[in-house]
Chain A
Amino acid sequence: MNRPETLPGRETAAPAGGGRIEVRGLHAWFGTHQVLHGIDLDFSPRQVTAIIGPSGCGKSTLLRTMNRLHEETPGTRLTGSITLDGEDIHAPGTDAVRLRRDVGMVFQRPNPFPNMSVRDNVLAGFKLNHEKRKDEREILERTLRSAALWDELKDMLHKPGSSLSGGQQQRLCIARALAVEPKVLLMDEPCSALDPVSTNKIEELIFELKKSLTIVIVTHNMQQAARVSDFTAFLMVGKLVEVGATRKIFTSPEQRLTEDYVTGRFG
Chain B
Amino acid sequence: MIASESQLQRRQWLSHAMTAGAFLCVLLALVPLVSVLVYIGGEGLRAINLDFFLHLPKPVGEVGGGMANAIVGSLELLALACLFGLPVGILGGVYLSEFGSSKFATAVRFTADVLSGVPSIVVGVFVFTLMVRPMHSFSALAGGVALGILMIPVVMRTTEELMRLVPGSLREAALALGVPRWRTILLVVLANARGGILTGVMLAIARVAGETAPLLFTALGNRFWSFSLKEPISSLPVQIFTYSIAPYDDWHRQAWAGALVLILMVLSLNIAGRLALRRRMEKAR
List residues of chain A with CB under 8 Å of any chain B CB: 67, 69, 72, 74, 97-101, 104-105, 107, 109, 111-117, 124-125, 128-129, 158-160, 163, 173, 176-177, 180
* Cβ-neighbour of B284 out of A107, A111, A115 (below 8 A): A115
Q: Which residues of B contact A109 (CB under 8 A)?
A: 169
Judge whether B1 is part of the interface by a CB distance below 8 angstroms: no
Give Cα A117–Cα B172 distance, bound, in whole angstroms: 19
Q: Is the CB of A104 within 8 A of B285?
A: no
A95 CB, nearest partner CB in chain B, Å: 9
* Docked-complex contact A69 and B177, CB < 8 angstroms: no
Q: Are B179 and A97 in contact (CB under 8 A)?
A: yes
Does the CB pair A72–B175 fall under 8 Å? yes
Determine the residue in chain B with the shortest Cβ distance to A109: B169
Q: Is B91 in contact with chain A by the CB < 8 A criterion?
A: no
B178 touches A111 (CB 8 A): no
> B167 near A: Cβ within 8 Å?
yes
What are the residues of chain A within 8 A of B285 when measuring CB–CB?
Answer: 117, 158-160, 163
What distance in Å separates the Cβ of A123 from its nearest Cβ neighbour in chain B?
Answer: 10
* Contact B187–A128 (Cβ < 8 Å): yes
Q: Indicate whether B180 reaches chain A with its CB closer than 8 angstroms.
A: yes
Interface extent on B, as a size class?
20 to 34
Chain A residues in 8 Å Cβ range of B175? 69, 72, 100
Which residue of chain B lies nearest to A179 when distances are taken between CB atoms in the complex?
B177
27 contacts between A and B (CB under 8 A): A67-B176, A72-B175, A74-B101, A97-B180, A98-B178, A100-B176, A101-B177, A107-B169, A107-B173, A107-B176, A111-B167, A111-B169, A112-B173, A114-B192, A115-B191, A115-B194, A117-B284, A124-B174, A125-B178, A128-B177, A128-B179, A128-B184, A129-B178, A158-B285, A159-B285, A177-B176, A177-B177
CA distance A194 to B175 in the complex (A): 24
A129 and B179 contact, CB distance less than 8 A: yes
B-chain residues with CB within 8 Å of residue A72 when the two chains form the complex: 172, 175, 181
CB distance from A28 to the nearest CB of B (A): 17
Q: Which residues of B contact A104 (CB under 8 A)?
A: 176-177
Is B255 engaged at the interface, CB distance under 8 Å to the other chain? Answer: no
Q: How far is the CB of A169 from chain B (nearest CB, A)?
A: 11
When A128-B183, A128-B187 are in contact, do A105 and B192 touch as well, CB less than 8 Å? no
Chain B, residues 101-116, CB within 8 Å of chain A (1/0): the string is 1000000000000000
- 1/0 per residue, CB under 8 A from A, across B269-285: the answer is 00000000000000011
The interface residues of chain A lying within 8 Å CB-to-CB of B188 are 113, 128
Which one, A97, A113, A117, A163, contacts B173 given CB within 8 A? Answer: A113
Set of chain B residues within 8 Å of A98, measured between Cβ atoms? 178
* A111, A128, A177, A180 — most chain B CB neighbours (10 Å): A128
Residues on B with C-beta less than 8 A from A101 are 177-178
Question: Bound complex: CA of A177 vs CA of B184, how far in Å?
Answer: 16
The 8 A CB mask of B145-175 against A (1 = contact, 0 = none) is 0000000000000000000000101101111
